[in-house]
Amino acid sequence: MSHNKLTTSAGAPIADDNNSISAGERGSLTFDNFRMFEKLAHFNRERIPERVVHARGTGAYGTFRLNKDLSDWTIADFLQKPGTDTEVFVRFSTVGGGQDSSDYARDPRGFAVKFYTKEGNFDLVGNNTPVFFLNDPSKFPDFIHSQKKNPRTNLPDPAASFEYWANHPQSLHQMTILMSDRGIPLSYRHMHGFGSHTLSFWNKRGERFWVKWHLKTQQGIKNVRSEEAGNYPAFGAQQDLVESIDQGDYPRWRVQLQILSEEQAKKLSVNPFDLTKVWPHSEAPLVDIGMLELSRNVENYFAETEQVAFAPSNLVPGIGASPDKMLQARLFAYQDAHRYRVGANVNTIPVNAPRCPVHHYQRDGAFAGMCPLGGAASNQDRSVNFYPNDRIHQGAPAPVPEVAEPPMPLEHDAWIKPYSQDGEDYHTQAGDLFRLMSDDQKQQLVDNIAGGLRQANASVQTRMLAQFNKADPLYAEMVNFALSEST
């Protein structure tokens, strides 16, 4: 016999959990089946809304170990002393598909890291690619709509994807990566991660630096060819990560940074805040700063991996944002999505809760009163719930001026209006990437492009070929040949 009593969610013991109360052996159920009602009502609410993007994913806990003193660049507490260990939670995901999609879809992979630092959570929210399809957030909903299922048939629609890309040359670089051999990673362990956005550091002297984060897999890059993807189980990447950690084969990533002073950034050959561009390593070399290792699987997928909430606005003293327009919008949009999906107190859920004391004047909302880490407060207890107040000397929360971020300069004579970025060079870096590929990689790229582009109309094909030609004439020639062979 079990030593644990079966109870209602309110703790009352349950005598019979197999049989509902009815009016006679074969009669109707009665309204005093409140225990059954509790079970059914909770069952109806077991799922929170699926993420619009990054819905299908898996995650694990681990450690980031710093091996370089970064105090010349940042006051961030966890980046000061070599040998410092910081607990992390990492969530990997596909981007476009829902929970019912495959781990082996041709799709970017989300790579998000939550650092539980002594001064709050720092979330590095990126992908397995160093760039993205867009550099203006107003286009993001349209882009995602073009990648999702057709609104009439609810079927995948490659023609819509290429129609969008044909109208947005800024997507060419990321689309080239997506359609290359790296478009379908073999597993989450065998791919790089990137913060993608430009973030900032500032040091104790108030000097600002622009920063890009890179996480390089120590397991080696391994990918799946398009014709082989269907041979893998839909859940294969998740299974691979869970089993490797359970078996003690802990995956690792070398953490590196690109760091530029404000003056160096002004001289960079590309716009340092354009998410469609990489920083040339010749101008901003990589700096090794540590190692990230995953060593513990979750105990409950829903409570941890499904409810974990990453947000670029989760920053800590010494790490800030930048004028990256996509990042600026995500500072709002991610937290807004979490409040919608999970609730106003999303950060009180254990996987999201900081590993340091939390004091603020926010109150109430769904899940108010949760104390996941054994704290004494309940909905911030009975203390004052507004600021400023007269109880600072009694321990009421107060601002900490010494962690203030230095001011961020604006462009001289900056006028507030929409600024077109159509004149940017979106072809050179895509062409550089194409020229780095082996013959086999180039062939995989053009075959993957042709497979979807042939479903688009002639106008879309013509405009895409023009983009490929600007990147590299051979790129366009090979895609055109692949298209002609398929007709």
pLDDT for 33: 87
Question: CA dihedral defined by 67, 286, 192, 66, rounded to 10 degrees?
Answer: 10
Provide the percentage of residues in the chain whose pLDDT is more than 70.
97
Residues 203, 302 within the same domain: yes
Which tens digit of pLDDT belongs to each residue from 20-34?
Answer: 888 888 888 888 888
CA–CA dist 242, 71 (Å, integer): 36
Residue at 271 is within a domain: yes
Highest average pLDDT, of 48-52, 304-308, 406-410, comes from 304-308
**Which residue range forms the structural domain that includes residue 211?**
57-133+183-354
Average pLDDT over residues 254-261: 98
Residues 7, 128 within the same domain: no
Residues 269, 200 within the same domain: yes
Lowest average pLDDT, out of 64-68, 208-212, 390-394, 451-455, goes to 390-394
For the chain, the straight-line distance linking the first and the last C-alpha, in angstroms and rounded, comes to 70
CA–CA dist 329, 15 (Å, integer): 53
Average pLDDT over residues 110-138: 96
Average pLDDT over residues 92-98: 93
Q: Look up the CATH number of the domain holding residue 81.
A: 2.40.180.10
Q: Does residue 163 surpass a pLDDT of 70? A: yes
Q: Is 134 helix (H, G, I), strand (E, B) or coil?
A: coil
Residues in Cβ contact with 88 at an 8 Å cutoff, skipping those fewer than 6 apart: 61, 62, 63, 64, 113, 114, 115, 116, 292
Q: Which of 431, 452, 458, 453 is nearest to 442 (CA)?
A: 431
CA–CA dist 225, 241 (Å, integer): 20
Q: Look up the CATH number of the domain holding residue 17.
A: 4.10.91.20
CA–CA dist 209, 137 (Å, integer): 24
pLDDT for 270: 97
Q: Which of 54, 168, 173, 197 is catalytic?
A: 54
Q: Does residue 97 surpass a pLDDT of 50? A: yes
pLDDT for 480: 97
pLDDT bracket for residue 61 (50, 70, 90) = very high
pLDDT for 345: 86
CA–CA dist 256, 288 (Å, integer): 4
CA–CA dist 360, 124 (Å, integer): 23
pLDDT bracket for residue 370 (50, 70, 90) = low
Residues in Cβ contact with 24 at an 8 Å cutoff, skipping those fewer than 6 apart: none
pLDDT for 374: 42
Number of domain units in the chain: 2
Residue at 408 is within a domain: no
- Computed over every residue of the chain, the mean pLDDT equals 92
CA–CA dist 211, 265 (Å, integer): 10
pLDDT bracket for residue 51 (50, 70, 90) = very high
Q: In the listed set 331, 354, 377, which residue is the last one of a domain according to the structure?
A: 354
Q: Does residue 373 surpass a pLDDT of 50? A: no
CA–CA dist 337, 353 (Å, integer): 17
Residues 320, 244 within the same domain: yes
Which tens digit of pLDDT belongs to each residue from 203-222?
Answer: 999 999 999 999 999 999 99
Which tens digit of pLDDT belongs to each residue from 342-358?
Answer: 988 888 899 999 998 88
| 81 within 8 A of 94, measured Cβ to Cβ | no
| 188 within 8 A of 235, measured Cβ to Cβ | no
Residue at 390 is within a domain: no
HSE (side-chain half, CA atoms, 13 Å) at 324: 29
> Would you call 127 a catalytic residue per the annotation?
yes
Higher pLDDT, 449 or 487: 449
Residues 312, 237 within the same domain: yes
Q: In 373-472, which residue ranges form alpha helices assigned H by DSSP?
A: 428-436, 439-453, 458-471
CA distances from 172 to 53, 282, 297, 401 (A): 21, 22, 37, 44
pLDDT for 487: 59
Q: Is 470 helix (H, G, I), strand (E, B) or coil?
A: helix
CA distances from 126 to 38, 174, 190 (A): 40, 14, 16
Residues 105, 1 within the same domain: no
Provide the percentage of residues in the chain whose pLDDT is more than 90.
71
> Would you call 150 a catalytic residue per the annotation?
no
Q: Does residue 484 surpass a pLDDT of 70? A: yes
Residue at 219 is within a domain: yes
Considering the entire predicted model, what is its pTM?
0.93
CA–CA dist 462, 468 (Å, integer): 10
Residues 30, 118 within the same domain: no
Residues 275, 198 within the same domain: yes
Amino acid at site 79: L
pLDDT for 181: 96
CA–CA dist 186, 251 (Å, integer): 14
Which tens digit of pLDDT belongs to each residue from 298-348?
Answer: 999 999 999 999 999 999 999 999 999 999 999 999 999 999 999 888 888
Residue at 237 is within a domain: yes
Q: In the listed set 46, 65, 83, which residue is the last one of a domain according to the structure?
A: 46
Residues 107, 254 within the same domain: yes
Q: Does residue 389 surpass a pLDDT of 70? A: yes
Q: Which of 58, 113, 51 is nearest to 297 (CA)?
A: 58
Residue at 210 is within a domain: yes
Provide the token pair at 190: 């065998």
Q: Which of 67, 121, 127, 197 is catalytic?
A: 127
pLDDT for 375: 43
Q: Which of 462, 428, 422 is nearest to 176 (CA)?
A: 428
- List strand residue ranges (DSSP E) for 271-313, in order: 286-297
